[in-house]
Amino acid sequence: ALLFLHPIIVNLNMDSKADMKREKKDEESGGNPYAKLDVTAVLQECRAFNETPINARKCSIILTKLFHLVQQGDNIGRTEATEAFFGVTKLWQSKDATLRRLVYLAVKVLSTISDDVIIVTSSLTKDMTGKEDAYRAPAIRALCLITDAAMLQTIERYMKQAIVDRNPAVSSAALVSSIHLMKKAGDVVRRWANEVQEAASAEGHMVQLHALALLYQIRSNDRLAVNKLVQKFAKGGMRSPFALCYLIRIAKQLIEEDDQADSAFFQFIDSCLRHKSEMVVYEAASAIVSLPNTSPSELAPAISVLQLFCSSPKPALRFAAVRTLNKVSVKHPQAVTSCNVDLEKLITDSNRSIATLAITTLLKTGAESSVERLMKQISSFVSEISDEFKIVVVEAIRALIARYPRKHTVMLPFLANMLRNDGGFEYKREIVDTLIAIVEENPDARLAGLAQLCEFIEDCEHPALATKVLHLLGREAPKTANPHAYIRFVYNRVILETTQVRAAAVSALAKIGAQCPQLRPSIEGLLKNCLLDSEDEVRDRATFYLSVLDMAPAIVNSLVLDTLQSSPAALERAAAEYVENEEAHSNKFDLKSVPVCSAPVAKKAKTLLAEEVAPAKEKKTAANATAAAAERLSQIEGLTAGLGPLFKSTLPIPLTDNVNEYTVQCSKHIFANHVILEFEVKNTLNDQLLEQVNVSLEDAEGEWKALRQRPIARLPYGEPSSIFVLLPFPQSGAVQGVLGATLNFKVKDVDPSTGEPESDDTYDDSYVLEEVELCVSDSVQPLGKASFGPAWNALEEEDTVEETFSLANVSSIHEAIKKVCGLLGLAPCERSDIVPEGRNRHVVMMSGVFRGGHEVLAKANVAIDPNDNSIGLNLLIRCSESIIAEILATAIV
Ligand SMILES: *[C@@H]1O[C@H](CO)[C@@H](O)[C@H](O)[C@H]1NC(C)=O
Ligand SMILES: *[C@@H]1O[C@H](CO)[C@@H](O)[C@H](O)[C@H]1NC(C)=O
Ligand SMILES: *[C@@H]1O[C@H](CO)[C@@H](O)[C@H](O)[C@H]1NC(C)=O
Ligand SMILES: *[C@@H]1O[C@H](CO)[C@@H](O)[C@H](O)[C@H]1NC(C)=O
């Protein structure tokens, strides 16, 4: 089951009513017998451990109480814990099997809060190698937990024996403990690879799984070795369904990480669809449908398997199948249509979770005409299902409206009804987000959606949601025919709510005032009332807006309608530097000198087990890359002196493939007028030491010339290090370039085991790398604007650069938009990158900041010609510096 069902979204229940209900339930069921334990009393009781003869039953109960306290996070002092621990050591004399097993648990539980746990090492070692099987496994687990890298060497021999032990419980305990030890003493554990291999072909099903997981951990830094591992076991030898599920996950990850992955991996997963264990079949099907870039013919067998599961008598299988189909239906609605008949049968399933998933899947795949019927069906039991599944319903509605915008007349009342009924914060937030999306994406639904949201904030117990809606009103109300109507809803919040909501209401009023000159006098009157608010946050905002609203449109845009372009942390740092540096005081503080920062894209959390398969591989984002690089570069003496703040860093791009003698990856760090290329070099030959490692760059146009470079003095085996090359942007204004790159170095032969040079002799060598490409998007930070229209109009007087292109190699409007945003380095604004189904023409609005702090705005009109499927692009670009608009236009070829 663990492998089967992915963890479910944790439900943040902020509803105090629900809490009260829970308490009442506890009382009714007699409550928790451990609920009122007192730490001091239990520690007193621990003295019983020292009595002779040992009363096994009494001691077991006391230990259980102690565990409960530690588990609850009760604070136990070190002295007391140590005293209890010494008592526990006495219990080793007991022959009672239950008590003895609790003793091992006690060693683990107390290991972090007590001193001197090390003293039980020899007792544990004795039990681990003893005759009593029931003690061996828990002894291994306790021992591995308290041991350190040095001590591990002394028990290494026993660990190797335990890994290949004939008793599966012992073998599993040793393997799982070794997985934990990988973090503390990876080098030692790696030496046990042969034993682990042997365990992988043992009888026990769990042993195989644990051995495979450990083998994977041992090799996870070496892609080639992981490839070999999967190739070997994919051919056979894994009988355990658990291990096969794990192998499928590794194979899937290899395919995801590398488009050129061995096609045998896919064939292996595909072959598992015909396995006799349902668990394996499901895992394979679920892997295939979640792979990117699967063709319909690859998808079909997996879908048929899920379809079969839909009519299984086992609810778990039906649930798993329909849950997976529900996910697939987002990306491949076409493929899931074949299951519609089976899904229809499930909409009356007695398990409401299954019914909900079936209906919401049908909503995504079915015809527009069936929407009303399905919604009616779901209305009949929506009050019975948990918030988690209500969220599934809301997500389906969201997807549905994107497909059939006209259906908003059915969906909006339904959502509004859900919003009025009980539910936790997460659920309410999902509904509000969906309504906001509908209002922003669908002008026809704007009025009805805004009306529902206005009603919601009249009586909303979640300030975070009220604030969200107020921000929306500030943006969207001016676009309606009668913005005046919304002012009352906003102003009511100023009178009735908490500080956070009042402040947001003040900002919303100002935004409406900024965009509707006719309403400005009355709004200014309302803002004046706010000057008397009891909280300074509210007063300060009102004061600020009152003094700004009558200024020039460009100023109003940037101060009222735009959001802050830098992260608060970066702004604080820049301001502190300015204050400290007295020389700078002759100039005004320039907001443009603060690094801009695009909001990090919120990623959905990965499931627990998927994370386990990929140990410690954090996904890096471009925003992270910049923040981390700024810190790192500033610590290198003299490297960035005089360049100004770092504008942007790109994620590293490999310039070699992973299997080479030397691996090199390049990141670009962009400043106002310079770029620093960072080449991170890793020497993968253990018999070579490289010295004076540098890069020579070659540019056919002769425009890019390195100003200076920081070579690597010494590059031993396996320790990555970086070369930095500083290039000014060319005088010509060019920002694109392709640079040939070669790595130069001196080689010293060394003894592989010690790393010591065999002699002082060196020889010169060089290594040709892949070309380094500099592109337009490197010089641009994507930064979406909350209100595109006013900003676009404010740049009206500037020249608009207009170009028309015909795009090759794109198959849909959506893809074209993604490609254009990527090439220009701009972010889509106001959700204009969402293309309603069936459109063959769409306008996307984009914005960003060019290095030096220049704002760039663009509109792209993308149209698909249905006759030959060619895509035409008409691009308008505005920037206060027309040269920059022209540079941007060169990005598209
Ligand atoms: C539906 O079935 C799944 C899988 O067996 C189970 O986990 C869940 O609790 C059931 N839900 C309801 C509401 O019966
Ligand atoms: C990346 O940024 C996010 C949010 O800004 C942060 O939570 C995360 O820890 C960062 N990751 C790294 C590796 O710095
Ligand atoms: C790079 O290193 C080679 C030897 O490794 C040396 O001959 C050359 O002068 C160096 N070039 C630069 C630009 O430092
Ligand atoms: C079109 O795409 C294919 C495959 O993705 C690629 O091989 C080809 O070079 C592309 N053609 C152009 C003109 O970009």
**863 has pLDDT over 60:** yes
More confident residue, 881 or 283: 283
Percent of the chain beyond pLDDT 70? Answer: 93
Percent of the chain beyond pLDDT 90? Answer: 51
442 CA to centre of ligand 3 in angstroms:
61
Instruction: Please state whether 115 falls in left (phi above 0), alpha (psi between -120 and 50) or beta.
Output: beta
Indicate which residue's Cα is closest to atom 7 of ligand 1: 316
CA distance 783 to 460: 31
Asked whether residue 785 is domain-assigned, the answer is yes
> Rg for the chain (alpha carbons), in Å?
32
Asked whether residue 800 is domain-assigned, the answer is yes
Which residue of 293, 295, 805, 809 sits with most ligand 4 atoms within 8 Å of its CB, as the best mutation to test the pocket?
809
- Which residues, 6+ apart, have CB-to-CB distance to 113 below 8 Å? 70, 76, 78, 81
Residues 753 and 676 in one domain: yes
* Least confident span in 3-7, 138-142, 283-287, 549-553: 3-7
CA distance 520 to 813: 40
Domain that holds residue 644: 631-774
CA nearest to 858, candidates 782, 778, 774, 779: 782
**623 has pLDDT over 70:** no
Residues 672 and 755 in one domain: yes
Indicate which residue's Cα is closest to atom 12 of ligand 2: 624
Residue 397 corresponds to which tokens in the numbers above? 């509605």
CB 745 near ligand 3, within 6 Å: yes
205 CA to centre of ligand 1 in angstroms:
27
865 - beta bridge partners? 870
Q: Which residue has the tokens 């090199």?
A: 664
Residue 287 corresponds to which tokens in the numbers above? 């892997």
Rounded average pLDDT over 179-183: 92
Measured from the alpha carbon of residue 353, the closest ligand is: 1
For the four alpha carbons of 317, 320, 323 and 329, in that order, the dihedral sign comes to negative
What's the confidence (pLDDT) of residue 874? Answer: 94
Residue 377 corresponds to which tokens in the numbers above? 């069906």
**750 has pLDDT over 80:** yes
Number of structural domains, the chain?
A: 3
Residues 760 and 792 in one domain: no
Residues 766 and 668 in one domain: yes
* Least confident span in 254-263, 285-294, 451-460, 817-826: 254-263
Secondary element (H or E) of residue 410 = helix 408-420
Asked whether residue 181 is domain-assigned, the answer is no
CATH of the domain at 675: 2.60.40.1480
Kindly compute the dihedral angle of the four CA atoms of residues 630, 770, 706, 668, in this order, to the nearest 10 degrees: -20
Asked whether residue 396 is domain-assigned, the answer is no
Indicate which residue's Cα is closest to atom 12 of ligand 3: 694
Indicate which residue's Cα is closest to atom 5 of ligand 3: 745
CB 624 near ligand 2, within 6 Å: yes
Asked whether residue 517 is domain-assigned, the answer is yes
CA distance 579 to 716: 43
- Closest ligand 2 atom, CA of 600? 5
CB 489 near ligand 3, within 6 Å: no
Residues 750 and 828 in one domain: no
CA nearest to 668, candidates 687, 685, 646: 646
- Closest ligand 4 atom, CA of 809? 1
Which residue of 567, 624, 632 sits with most ligand 2 atoms within 8 Å of its CB, as the best mutation to test the pocket?
624
CA distance 215 to 849: 47
Residues 727 and 799 in one domain: no
Give me the amino acid identity at 507. Answer: S
690 CA to centre of ligand 3 in angstroms:
13
What's the confidence (pLDDT) of residue 613? Answer: 38
Asked whether 711 and 743 are in contact (CB, 8 A), the reply is: no
Residues 796 and 729 in one domain: no
Please, what's the b/e burial string for 343-361 (b: 16 or more CB within 10 A of its CB; e: otherwise)?
beebbebeeebbbbbbbbb
DSSP at 826: P
694 CA to centre of ligand 3 in angstroms:
6
774 CA to centre of ligand 4 in angstroms:
20
Residue 310 corresponds to which tokens in the numbers above? 């839909």
139 CA to centre of ligand 2 in angstroms:
39
Last residue of a domain, one of 528, 544, 563: 563
Rounded average pLDDT over 207-229: 91
Last residue of a domain, one of 720, 755, 774: 774
Asked whether residue 823 is domain-assigned, the answer is yes
Cis peptide upstream of residue 828 (ω within 30 degrees of 0): no
The 3-state DSSP class for residue 74 equals coil
Residues 759 and 636 in one domain: yes
**296 has pLDDT over 60:** yes
354 CA to centre of ligand 1 in angstroms:
7
**419 has pLDDT over 60:** yes
Residues 650 and 770 in one domain: yes
CB 389 near ligand 1, within 6 Å: no
Indicate which residue's Cα is closest to atom 6 of ligand 2: 624
What's the confidence (pLDDT) of residue 651? Answer: 87
Which protein residues touch ligand 4 with a CB less than 6 Å away?
A: 808-809
pLDDT band, very low/low/confident/very high, at 804 (cuts 50, 70, 90): very high
Asked whether 410 and 401 are in contact (CB, 8 A), the reply is: no
pLDDT tens digit sequence for 240-288: 999 999 999 999 999 988 877 778 899 999 999 999 999 999 999 999 9
Residues 686 and 799 in one domain: no
Which residue of 677, 690, 692 sits with most ligand 3 atoms within 8 Å of its CB, as the best mutation to test the pocket?
692
227 CA to centre of ligand 4 in angstroms:
28
CA distance 177 to 117: 18
Asked whether residue 602 is domain-assigned, the answer is no
- Closest ligand 2 atom, CA of 628? 14
DSSP at 149: H
CB 499 near ligand 3, within 6 Å: no
What's the confidence (pLDDT) of residue 32? Answer: 76
Rounded average pLDDT over 610-636: 60
Asked whether residue 781 is domain-assigned, the answer is yes
* Phi and psi angles of residue 892, each rounded to the nearest 5 degrees, phi first: -95, 125
Asked whether 811 and 864 are in contact (CB, 8 A), the reply is: no
Residues 768 and 636 in one domain: yes
876 - beta bridge partners? 802, 859
Question: What is the pLDDT of the chain when averaged over all its residues?
Answer: 86
CA distance 326 to 310: 12
**2 has pLDDT over 60:** no
pLDDT band, very low/low/confident/very high, at 98 (cuts 50, 70, 90): very high
Residues 884 and 792 in one domain: yes
Rounded average pLDDT over 170-188: 92
Which residue of 679, 712, 744 sits with most ligand 3 atoms within 8 Å of its CB, as the best mutation to test the pocket?
744
Please, what's the b/e burial string for 629-651 (b: 16 or more CB within 10 A of its CB; e: otherwise)?
bbeebeeeeebbeebebbbbbbe
CB 746 near ligand 3, within 6 Å: yes
CATH of the domain at 828: 3.30.310.10
Last residue of a domain, one of 543, 563, 583: 563
Indicate which residue's Cα is closest to atom 4 of ligand 2: 600
810 CA to centre of ligand 4 in angstroms:
9
**477 has pLDDT over 90:** yes
Asked whether 298 and 334 are in contact (CB, 8 A), the reply is: no
**293 has pLDDT over 60:** yes
CA distance 102 to 97: 9
**599 has pLDDT over 70:** no
What's the confidence (pLDDT) of residue 612? Answer: 37
